[in-house]
A = this chain, B = another copy of it.
């Protein structure tokens, strides 16, 4: 089983409108709802790849109930979300059908009490012992200590389970120091962590801060990885147009999927790049186009970097 942690789960709502006009009134043509948050997307992609997955984190209030209900429809994803008193957040994507552009609104997360955080830690400690790998994903809801990911990384390491951390800001800075197996920043997150906008030295710098491997996502240019075995860049055969939301989550799923199967780094990166590309072509985060995945997987270019 692979364990994904989404402390700030969400109900991802999408509104399609013919055209977004600020300060006007819109009839919403279509509403879709999905369980969301980065770790939930990772769980869905892992499940689609055939892995057994357990998703934990927090869910509360009426929005949390809908998250549970939607998660129950994802086959192979075991719902281990811990209840919280405050209500889970929604995110809203308003898609302008005339341009295809999306306007995003993210609600703040629920306030987690210290008793709830303790209950989560106890449950995490048990789950991690049955896991082959752990993904720690996304932002921290209010009330969760900023050093939370460092605690979760250490607990996984103590259990001998490899852990991937995908977050930003201070949560990432503290988490890296606890020596996770992999971190997967994007260019902006990496620059915030290291102070450098030059991907190769910044990726190496991030490794020196504690992560065993750093996989930086370069958007349409693929991934750059600094590891103990070497430094590589993996690029898709061509730029694929589409919706980049969730591409990073699919890369995380690809890295973990290949890791638990014992694949080497060039193979892990190939799978991650192909899944990202196949997600850009899918309509929503947490899904990918299987034909594009197989096709791109055969033509990702992995080169040694530096």
Contact = CB atoms under 8 A, between A and B. Distances in A.
A198 interface: no
Contacts of A304: none
Contacts of A303: none
Contacts of A106: 25-28
Copies in the complex: 2
A104 B21 CA distance: 10
Interface of A: 15, 17, 20-29, 31, 62-63, 65-66, 69, 92, 94, 96, 99, 101-108
Nearest to A13: B90
Nearest to A31: B107
A23 B20 CA distance: 9
Contact of A26 (B23, B24, B65, B105): B105
A16 to B, nearest CB: 11
Given A92-B92, A108-B28, A23 B103 contact: yes
Contacts of A25: 103-106
B15 A101 contact: no
Interface centre among A17, A20, A99 (most CB of B within 10 A): A20
Interface centre among A15, A94, A103 (most CB of B within 10 A): A103
Q: Which 5 A-B pairs have the closest CB atoms?
A: A25-B104, A23-B101, A28-B107, A26-B105, A62-B66
Contacts of A99: 23
Contacts of A24: 103-104
A17 B25 CA distance: 17
B22 A105 contact: no
Nearest to A106: B27
Interface centre among A26, A69, A99 (most CB of B within 10 A): A26
Contacts of A27: 106, 108
